[in-house]
């Protein structure tokens, strides 16, 4: 969100691009891969989870988080090209999406509600 307020190709713009590159490639993408590997191992060892509705909802939320990850990569590429299409308020709002998704995922893990789908 702060990157959007910088001028294109300025020194601060280059700093934000470097920070975003490192965040995407050194933290977010490895965490995404580890999450999927451990998730597949969990599912392989506990195949009954696939029949639990809370687990399927959690899986859907993880998929949403993955889609959001790729969308952030698209936004990074736009910043790299010098595009400033969205306003800062947009970035402030989408900044909260991963936090909300992770909170819901953690609640599903801890509570394990028994959803009855008709």
Determine what percent of the chain is predicted with pLDDT higher than 70.
97
Is residue 91 scored above 80 in pLDDT? Answer: yes
Determine what percent of the chain is predicted with pLDDT higher than 90.
69
Q: What are 47-66's pLDDT values in tens digits?
A: 999 988 889 999 999 999 99
pTM beyond 0.75: yes
DSSP code string of 24-45: IIIIIHHHHHHHHHHHHHHHHH
> Closest Cα to residue 75, out of 60, 87, 61, 63?
87
- Cα angle: 91, vertex 97, 102; to 5 degrees: 150
> Closest Cα to residue 41, out of 30, 49, 52?
49
């Amino acid at each position: 969100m702060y990157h959007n307020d910088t001028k294109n190709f300025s020194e601060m713009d280059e700093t934000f691009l470097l920070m975003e590159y490192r965040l995407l490639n050194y933290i977010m993408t490895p965490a995404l891969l580890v999450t999927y590997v451990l998730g597949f191992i969990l599912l392989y060892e506990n195949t009954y989870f696939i029949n639990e509705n809370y687990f399927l909802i959690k899986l859907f939320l993880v998929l949403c988080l993955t889609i959001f990850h790729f969308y952030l990569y698209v936004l990074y590429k736009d910043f790299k090209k010098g595009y400033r299409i969205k306003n800062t308020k947009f970035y402030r709002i989408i900044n909260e999406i991963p936090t909300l998704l992770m909170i819901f995922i953690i609640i599903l893990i801890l509570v394990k509600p028994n959803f009855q789908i008709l």
